[in-house]
Chain A
Amino acid sequence: NAGVTQTPKFQVLKTGQSMTLQCAQDMNHEYMSWYRQDPGMGLRLIHYSVGAGITDQGEVPNGYNVSRSTTEDFPLRLLSAAPSQTSVYFCASSFSRSGNTIYFGEGSWLTVV
């Protein structure tokens, strides 16, 4: 049972480059989300999706795009990387929006130089 799988684990980008963080879950969860984690800041919600074809913004959406073409996949795109986007990114999923257990991926460490 893979759960939530994120790739890549580590990535170094140059300022201005774009990239996509991949996320897939095999639990048939309808709700998926992306968080970023910075020291002393906890996890901040970037974007979330309540089902295929439906996405919405979280607390810190600027500079990121998402799409949800299938139930399983929820990629996060950095449009033009900036040093402020250096962070650890976590993809998460759950069965519903009402606060059920959230399952997290192992994280993607991104450094923008």
Chain B
Amino acid sequence: SQQGEEDPQALSIQEGENATMNCSYKTSINNLQWYRQNSGRGLVHLILIRSNEREKHSGRLRVTLDTSKKSSSLLITASRAADTASYFCATNTGGFKTIFGAGTRLFVKA
């Protein structure tokens, strides 16, 4: 079974709105990362948050981590049509493996 599971599976919003995606995981982690995948392309790293951090920002991205609830959220503010993509959370437990969730498909309507 997957370590990280994103919610919702799909999200459709208007340009300019905020988009929030959630990730839940099952075991203690070393860090959690968010990746983006445009259709037909490889994954691109967005942001990494360590287990001792609670919030990180990068441009229009805001990531929170609640280790007590084993969950993380990715907020994209003022979304643009170019943000249309799939977003994946990935968890690392400190070993060799990084496990990815099934992803959230975001569609931003112009």
Contacts and interface: CB of A to CB of B under 8 A. Distances in A.
A82 B40 CA distance: 23
Given A90-B43, A104-B43, A98 B101 contact: no
A42 B96 contact: no
Interface residues of B, number: 26
Interface string B86-105: 00101010111111111100
Interface in A16-62: 31, 35, 40-45, 48, 50, 56, 58-59
Interface in A93-112: 97-107
A99 B31 contact: yes
A59 B94 CA distance: 17
Contact of B97 (A40, A41, A48): A48
A41 B102 contact: yes
Given A42-B88, A42-B101, A43-B88, A97 B45 contact: no
A106 B97 CA distance: 20
Interface in B65-110: 88, 90, 92, 94-103
B48 interface: yes
Contacts of A99: 30-31, 33, 48, 92, 94, 98
A112 B92 CA distance: 32
B28 interface: no
Nearest to B6: A42
B42 interface: yes
Interface of B: 2, 9, 30-31, 33, 35, 40-45, 48, 88, 90, 92, 94-103
Interface of A: 4, 31, 35, 40-45, 48, 50, 56, 58-59, 90, 92, 97-107
